[in-house]
Amino acid sequence: MKIICIGRNYAKHIEELANERPENPVVFLKPDSAILPRKNPFFIPDFSADVHYEVEVLIKINKVGKHIEAKFAHKYYDEIGLGIDFTARDVQAKCKENGLPWEKAKAFDGSAIIGEFYPKEIFDLENLQFQLLKNDALVQDGNTIAMLWKTDELIAYVSQYFTLKKGDILFTGTPSGVGKVVKNDILTGVLDGKQAFQIKVK
């Protein structure tokens, strides 16, 4: 399986990091080794002094697809979840300054939190509220209505370049409010009122 991530899919997040608004979705990958095993804490890596949380709605692909049309994309997933794309922001900044890929900042071991998945039928994916709490304080409050590219558009776009396979997970982008984690933080993800994950930072 592979993890396909979308960057810069919420306008306010683009603004908070002073990035340019892209003409097309920004796509990058994480290896399966980036997945943090369930119930494990997240360890801040030694190579970064500025790791940020980025909460995101997740889509689990349920069958093989290539060159999928947006109008048929809904047939390629039936579960929705919530997760975190951890980012070593200081490492990413150096990579961007030198025009280099982001993998060291985005794809390191444990950088992908994957919470519970739920049947898509119980949600309105076009208007889906999700939050991240840090030590019980709300830090990110997003809604998929603010996506620049909706889920089915993302699946259609990504499948032009990568064959999607059963079990692949699509991270659909983060809203504003990203920030640094420190040791002993407790991060809780809430999807439409349901607690999808909770992890401790070490």
pTM: 0.95
Region label for 167, one of left (φ > 0), alpha (ψ between -120 and 50) or beta (otherwise): left
C-alpha to C-alpha distance for 57 and 67, rounded to whole angstroms: 22
Give the pLDDT band of residue 86 (cuts 50, 70, 90). very high
Yes or no: say if 148 and 13 are a contact pair by the CB < 8 Å rule.
Answer: no
- Residue-wise pLDDT for 38-81, tens only, equals 989 999 999 999 999 999 999 999 999 999 999 999 999 999 99
- 161-184 pLDDT, tens digit each: 999 999 999 999 999 999 999 999
Task: Note the pLDDT tens digit of each residue in 118-152.
Answer: 999 999 999 999 999 999 999 999 999 999 999 99
**CATH-assigned architecture of domain 3-200:** Alpha-Beta Complex (3.90)
What are 5's strand-pairing partners? Answer: 28, 171
Task: Provide the pLDDT for residue 14.
Answer: 63
Burial 145-162 (b: 16+ CB within 10 A, else e): eebbbbbbebbbbbbeee
Domain boundaries, the chain: 3-200
Burial class (CB in 10 A: 0-12, 13-18, 19+), 70: middle
Check whether 3 has a pLDDT greater than 90. yes
